[in-house]
Amino acid sequence: MPDTLSWFTVLFAAVFTNNILLTNYLGMCSFLGASRELKTATGLGSAVIFVMTTTSVLNWVVYYGILKKLGLEHLRFIVFIVIIAAFTQIVEMIIDRVSARLYAALGIFLPLIAVNCAVMGASLFMIIREYTFIQSLAYGFGSGVGWTLAIMAMAGIREKMVRARVPQGLEGAGIALIIAGIMALAFTGFNGMMNIS
């Protein structure tokens, strides 16, 4: 069944109809923590796109190339988390050496991303839905873009919200969750177009 989905369908669904943040609640911690400024959100978002795309592909190769052949599928949690953590560490070191400007923009976010549930979540979803290699690539990239879209929209709204009066007790995370809920509501409007879950 999953083989019939074209890579474009998977990509589109990952960004809009099955947005990893707004329909699966993954990556909430950094979403709530780093969405106060648009600039930070953009930096974190681009780092997430990069890491999610590469780790999905890496994890796909390792899962089907090594774990499945040896019958060690139950070790996938441990292997995935190590790959993600090691990858972010290596990328951080490379960026630090190569470009100071890029490091200032992305580098500080990379350690945070290692424990971002969305990155791990994308890899696990891709295994459970039995995606092919191309579909996994599209799914990893699409999920990253979808997450970035959500956090940038959120940061844009929150920047405008600074001067708004919020009911007592609802400041900070509370109002952010309500905004996220309304955004999720808007995104469910895409559901009629396609659904991959």
Site residues for other proteins per CB under 8 A = 22-29, 32, 74-78, 80-82, 85-86, 111, 114-121, 124-125, 127-128, 167-175, 177-178, 180-182, 184-185, 188
- Which one, of 46, 41, 18, lies nearest residue 121 by Cα? 18
Nearest distance from residue 121's CB to other proteins, in Å? 6
Distance CA 174, CA 158 (A): 12
65 or 111: CB nearest other proteins: 111
Nearest distance from residue 100's CB to other proteins, in Å? 23
80 or 109: CB nearest other proteins: 80
Cβ-proximal residues to 33 (8 Å cutoff; 6+ apart), any chain: none
C-alpha separations of 89 from 82, 98, 111, 165 in Å: 10, 14, 7, 41
Nearest distance from residue 49's CB to other proteins, in Å? 18
The 8-class DSSP code of residue 3 comes to G
6 or 170: CB nearest other proteins: 170
Distance of CA 152 to the CA centre of its chain: 13
23 or 132: CB nearest other proteins: 23
Nearest distance from residue 15's CB to other proteins, in Å? 15
The 8-class DSSP code of residue 5 comes to S
C-alpha separations of 95 from 110, 145, 157 in Å: 10, 21, 31
38 or 81: CB nearest other proteins: 81
Nearest distance from residue 114's CB to other proteins, in Å? 7
